[in-house]
Structure 1
Amino acid sequence: MPFTSHLASIRFGTGLSPRIAPPASPDEMVRLLTGPDRIGEAIPMPTFLTVDPSLLDYKRATQARNRVRGTPEEEAAHEAMRALQRQARRRQRDFLMRRMARAATTEDGLRERLERFWADHFTVKSSGPMSAHLVAVFAEEAIRPHVTGRFSDMLRAAMTHPMMLSYLDQNRSFGPNSQRAKRRGGGLNENLARELLELHTLGVDGPYGQSDVRQLAELLTGMAFTQEEGFVYRTNFVEPGAETVLGSSYGGGAPSVDHVFEALDDLARHPATARHLSEKMARHFVSDEPSEDLVQTLTAAFRDTEGDLLVMTAQLLEHPDAWSPELKKVKPPRDFMESTLRALGVRAADLTALDRKPVDQIFAGPMQVMGQSIAGPSGPDGWPEDPASWITPQGMAGRIGWSMKAPSQVTDALPDPRDFVRTALGQQASEAVVFAAGAAETPAEGIGIVLSSPDFQRR
């Protein structure tokens, strides 16, 4: 199938915009990816060690409260902790709008989509109200810098990030025969090892067994984090001796995180990983039932370059299946909202300036109704890909209601629906939607018809 610029923006970007021209070719899309992250620089995000409030702030507030228990100062200490929790919730909304503003105004929509795809692949969730805003920090710090690099580097960054270690309880995992266990008893946790094999690399049907999970879990002991330093490697937590994973031996001498990295690199290069990631990428961007030729093309690109994600992405864009005119994928709620903002030409500053209440009313609350919580997916396997998970009676009612109401809340002057249908859909606009938009009694109704149509809901 031939390349079309409108389809490039819809299927591989964050939608069409009246302000920003769609990409002219796959080569231009790749060129943008290899250039500087301009929208990331324009709308910055903090790191784990610079974010405010931090887990260290919460730790210190907890310690301060504990010191004054049973005294007149205890209530003030409780209020200080509640203030930090409120601040963390505000940051969660703030970071949501920063990321939406990026998607709505970037010239490089594929970068946003790749970050979202890989962040979902390495799903993390917060363990409480003080870390909910750190999920976005994880994506910014562990995923975004590596979407055009090697998968092995992204894997290392994700596995050593405090949010991943916290989410899968790795901080509390130590070898049954470690120095730590001699003082406190065994505490091996297999969560990170299991998800690393099942979800992040080989796949649920990959060539591994329970012994591999157990041995890998023992190898991962020592990986932890502190609020002050971020990732740390605790040698006194490490299970002594060599561990055998998929027939290869790691460690055995002095404890070293290099042994862990060696195993991660081998898992990243494994043929099953190449196949698993290729199927997942093809399913996410093109079709829930991708062709074997597309999957094999991506698998070969990954295998032959030892996991070069830029080459893999370029091969995806060069494949004829990528430009099939049939829109088969359904936009998740957040993607749907962002493509709406983009089609309306909403400016980044107007989005990042929103207070908590309008963010909740216009975005977070309706997203929840549509089936996507800003807290993240329910499990480590990420958001679903199949249309049936998103196109539910409640979800569609939420989408239609939002389509009719939200545009008037995010822009002062609604465009003419007869123009908007072409702006939002380009060559993908069907005659039925064009007619319905032109026949609407009001601009709000016409725009709502376009946004709630299958033409706009799919990509």
Structure 2
Amino acid sequence: MAKRSDIAAIRMGYGLGGAPMPEDPDAIVAGLLTDDDQRKAYPMTGLAQASVLAAQLQAARRDLRKGVDGAKDEAKTLRRAVIAARDGAARQRLARILDTDTPFRERLTGFWVDHFTAVGQGPGRWALVPAFVDEAVRPNIAGRFADLLKAAVLHPLMLEYLDQSRSAGPNSRVGRTQRRGMNENLAREVLELHTLGSTGTYSQADVRQFAELLTGMTYTPRKGVRFQPALAEPGPESVLGATYGGPGGPAQADITEFLEDLAVHPDTARHVARKLAVHFQADTPDPDLVASLERAYRDSGGALTEVYRALLSHPAMWTEPGGKAKQPFDFVASSFLALGMQGSEVAGWKRRDWRQYVEQPMVKMGQDFFSPPGPDGWPEAADAWITPQGLSQRIVWSMRTPAALRDTLPDPRAFVQTALGSTASRRLAWAVGAAETRPQGVGLVLSAPEFNRR
């Protein structure tokens, strides 16, 4: 029978090999309220710097089109800088996982970044990705869902990704004079993906009214996020039975008021509860677990620490792990943890090392780190990841990469306990003990079914 400490590390963190996880739900939640040392140890590019890079790159491209001397070299230099910011953030996320003493924080950061999927489309927006992770999502994962929702939805990366920055009300000053159209992408995804869910009680009329409410929210690298009245649709908007804004049109305060109301809607409680249960427990989660999370959400008004406490206190979370397949990033992270790698090693890699050991293998396993398939993020279902192609690439990676990263690999008989603890099967322990070489034995552990599930 699996030990609670092993279950906690595998299910609520990224696996064994790093700092031990507490077994007590209150202690795990309490860890979220401590100083975020890993964010300080492995910083990412902030919004201010990202906006400067984006503005400079935009200007260099304008100069390039005009044929200005030196613009080509300047544009290349700035493009390399935004790539470095984006790739560096990916390395920092992995480094934090390897060094953290609060693995649940890292797991939750990954969950919420995926829940609010936003992609930097094009070099000018790549540097916004780390700012979104570190300034919108990570600081809000232990607060109110309303605050997390507002920070994510109104972040420049989200406004750009879902085309909100180019949206204008049909009857706004800009809409009338420049024939600029209204975009419903952000409104639809906030309702369908971020809050109420695809089965939520809203209509197309609510989507349109919400889109009209959002007009005016825009971002430019030079001026940042701001509300432009010239883009706002005049008049009040009625969304989900409530009215927001006055005769002159909405203001940013009206948008945040609606997001506050949306955060405590019963359908939001239901949707968020199920997503958490699916991510942490099983693709088809225990119905009582979902109900418990929904109840905690509604009773607390969306206080996320209370929802996590309900999650960690439910018996379904402490059964034998294996209800979830590890996504490629999870697989690589848990492999590095088991191998005893340190965050400083990964953070110090050159781009070619990151591409060789992580980025390119992940793509072959089916997960391009920077390109989720859509605004609904990465699929949770096991059959999306446990495929013939994906499995063959995991096996290849398991057999080759550890030996490339370590001059001396651990004894496989000890490694199976380091990597899997009490969740290792007798059959795997026997197979590992019979391995002819250390690389083969370590590879058998990392490619084993129980290691590839959590």
Report the TM-score, using the length of structure 1 for normalisation: 0.96
Match of 1:204 in 2: 198
Contact 2:169 2:175 in 1 (8 A): yes
Q: Deviations over 1:52-75 (max 9, x none)?
A: 8721121221233244x2x6x2xx
Match of 1:48 in 2: 47
The SS at the match of 2:197 is coil
Say whether 1:164 aligns with 2:158: yes
Contact 1:3 1:323 in 2 (8 A): no
Tell me how far 1:97 sits from its aligned partner. 1.1
Say whether 1:398 aligns with 2:367: no
Tell me how far 1:326 sits from its aligned partner. 4.0
Say whether 1:435 aligns with 2:430: yes
Match of 1:426 in 2: 421
Match of 1:284 in 2: 279
Q: Give the whole-Å Cα distance in 1 for the aligned partners of 2:413 and 2:142.
A: 39
Tell me how far 1:182 sits from its aligned partner. 2.7
Greater CA deviation, 391-400 or 126-135?
Answer: 126-135
Match of 2:9 in 1: 9
Count of residue pairs the alignment pairs up: 453
Match of 2:412 in 1: 417
Contact 2:395 2:447 in 1 (8 A): yes
Identity %: 45
Q: Deviations over 1:406-439 (max 9, x none)?
A: 1122223211111110011011011011111111
Contact 1:170 1:191 in 2 (8 A): yes
Tell me how far 1:129 sits from its aligned partner. 2.6
Q: Give the whole-Å Cα distance in 2 for the aligned partners of 1:6 and 1:398.
A: 26
The SS at the match of 2:133 is helix
* Paired amino acid for 1:7: I
Tell me how far 1:185 sits from its aligned partner. 1.8
Query: Is the alpha carbon distance of 1:371 and 1:299 closer, same or farther for their aligned partners in structure 2, counting shifts above 3 Å?
Result: same
Equivalent residue runs for 1:354-393 within 5 Å:
354-393=349-388
Q: Give the whole-Å Cα distance in 2 for the aligned partners of 1:439 and 1:136.
A: 44
Greater CA deviation, 55-64 or 326-335?
Answer: 55-64
Q: Deviations over 1:287-337 (max 9, x none)?
A: 111122111100011111110011101110000000111411001000110
Contact 1:48 1:230 in 2 (8 A): no
Q: Give the whole-Å Cα distance in 2 for the aligned partners of 1:92 and 1:360.
A: 13
Contact 1:124 1:163 in 2 (8 A): yes
Match of 2:26 in 1: 27
Contact 1:127 1:167 in 2 (8 A): yes
Contact 1:174 1:222 in 2 (8 A): yes
Equivalent residue runs for 1:54-65 within 5 Å:
54-65=53-64
* Paired amino acid for 2:301: E
Contact 2:14 2:107 in 1 (8 A): yes
Q: Which sections of structure 1, spanning at least 5 residues, go unmatched?
A: none
Query: Is the alpha carbon distance of 1:337 and 1:129 closer, same or farther for their aligned partners in structure 2, counting shifts above 3 Å?
Result: same
Q: Which sections of structure 2, spanning at least 5 residues, go unmatched?
A: none
Q: Give the whole-Å Cα distance in 2 for the aligned partners of 1:455 and 1:44.
A: 33
The SS at the match of 2:360 is helix
Task: Give the one of 106, 117, 124 matched to 2:100.
Answer: 106
Q: Give the whole-Å Cα distance in 1 for the aligned partners of 2:389 and 2:417.
A: 28
Match of 2:112 in 1: 118
The SS at the match of 2:97 is helix
Q: Give the whole-Å Cα distance in 1 for the aligned partners of 2:129 and 2:294.
A: 29
Q: Give the whole-Å Cα distance in 2 for the aligned partners of 1:110 and 1:26.
A: 11
Match of 2:80 in 1: 86
Tell me how far 1:147 sits from its aligned partner. 0.6
Tell me how far 1:248 sits from its aligned partner. 0.6
The SS at the match of 1:34 is coil
Say whether 1:234 aligns with 2:233: no
* Paired amino acid for 1:214: R
Q: Give the whole-Å Cα distance in 2 for the aligned partners of 1:186 and 1:97.
A: 40
Tell me how far 1:230 sits from its aligned partner. 2.5
Q: Deviations over 1:63-108 (max 9, x none)?
A: 33244x2x6x2xx312321222223223322221111111112111
The SS at the match of 1:455 is coil
* Paired amino acid for 2:98: A
Q: Give the whole-Å Cα distance in 1 for the aligned partners of 2:256 and 2:125.
A: 27
Greater CA deviation, 90-99 or 288-297?
Answer: 90-99
The SS at the match of 1:177 is coil
Q: Give the whole-Å Cα distance in 1 for the aligned partners of 2:127 and 2:233.
A: 33
* Two-structure CA RMSD over aligned residues (Å): 1.6
Stretches (4+) displaced over 4 A: none
Task: Give the one of 142, 145, 167 matched to 2:139.
Answer: 145
Greater CA deviation, 217-226 or 403-412?
Answer: 403-412
The SS at the match of 2:169 is coil
Report the TM-score, using the length of structure 2 for normalisation: 0.97
The SS at the match of 1:456 is coil
* Paired amino acid for 1:38: D
Task: Give the one of 240, 243, 247 matched to 2:237.
Answer: 243
Q: Give the whole-Å Cα distance in 1 for the aligned partners of 2:343 and 2:79.
A: 26
Q: Give the whole-Å Cα distance in 1 for the aligned partners of 2:225 and 2:52.
A: 18
The SS at the match of 2:90 is helix
Say whether 1:312 aligns with 2:294: no
Contact 2:108 2:141 in 1 (8 A): yes
Match of 1:173 in 2: 167
Tell me how far 1:386 sits from its aligned partner. 0.6
Match of 1:328 in 2: 323
